[in-house]
């Protein structure tokens, strides 16, 4: 069974840092591209970052570029999101999600349950 389990969320002050993790199981993690997607309370979905299966290609949304860093450890079947210089507008549930290989729209077929990040003083 495919599982994605996020952890690392919590309450952090503006300007602070947090590192999210996503533990993958039930599939060959090293073969899949991965993403982070977030959802502010009561709002829609916002793509945050993408990483290729090898980790060699990375993209960020403009809203987080220069502050967030995506990475992965294929040996540990894990995806990470290092978040620095956090702002109130980064408050959201953060999901990790897997891309179906070879499909034009890069559809996200499996999602974790999400981890809540709250940025507040």
Partner 1 sequence: EIVLTQSPATLSLSPGERATLSCRASQSVSSYLAWYQQKPGQAPRLLIYDASNRATGIPARFSGSGSGTDFTLTISSLEPEDFAVYYCQQRSNWPLFTFGGGTKVEIK
Q: Given the rule CB under 8 A, which residues bind partner 1?
A: 35, 37, 44-47, 50, 59, 61-62, 95, 100, 103-109, 111-114
CB atoms within 10 A of CB 75: 8
Q: Which residues contact 102 (CB under 8 A, 6 or more apart)?
A: none
Residue 43: burial class (beta carbons within 10 Å; 0-12, 13-18, 19+)? exposed
Identify which of residues 105 and 121 has a Cβ nearer to partner 1 in the complex: 105
Identify which of residues 61 and 82 has a Cβ nearer to partner 1 in the complex: 61
Q: Minimum distance from CB of 58 to partner 1 (Å)?
A: 10
Q: Minimum distance from CB of 98 to partner 1 (Å)?
A: 10
Identify which of residues 16 and 101 has a Cβ nearer to partner 1 in the complex: 101
Nearest residue to 79 via CA among 49, 117, 101, 59: 49
């Amino acid at each position: 069974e495919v599982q994605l389990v996020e952890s690392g969320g919590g309450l952090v002050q503006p300007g602070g840092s947090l590192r999210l993790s996503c533990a993958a199981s039930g599939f060959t993690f090293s073969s899949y591209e991965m993403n982070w997607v977030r959802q502010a309370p009561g709002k829609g979905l916002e793509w945050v970052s993408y990483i290729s299966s090898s980790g060699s290609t990375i993209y960020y949304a403009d809203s987080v570029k220069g502050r967030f860093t995506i990475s992965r450890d294929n040996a540990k079947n894990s995806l990470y999101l290092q978040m620095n210089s956090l702002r109130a507008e980064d408050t959201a549930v953060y999901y990790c999600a897997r891309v179906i290989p070879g499909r034009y729209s890069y559809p996200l077929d499996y999602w974790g349950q999400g981890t809540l990040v709250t940025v507040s003083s």
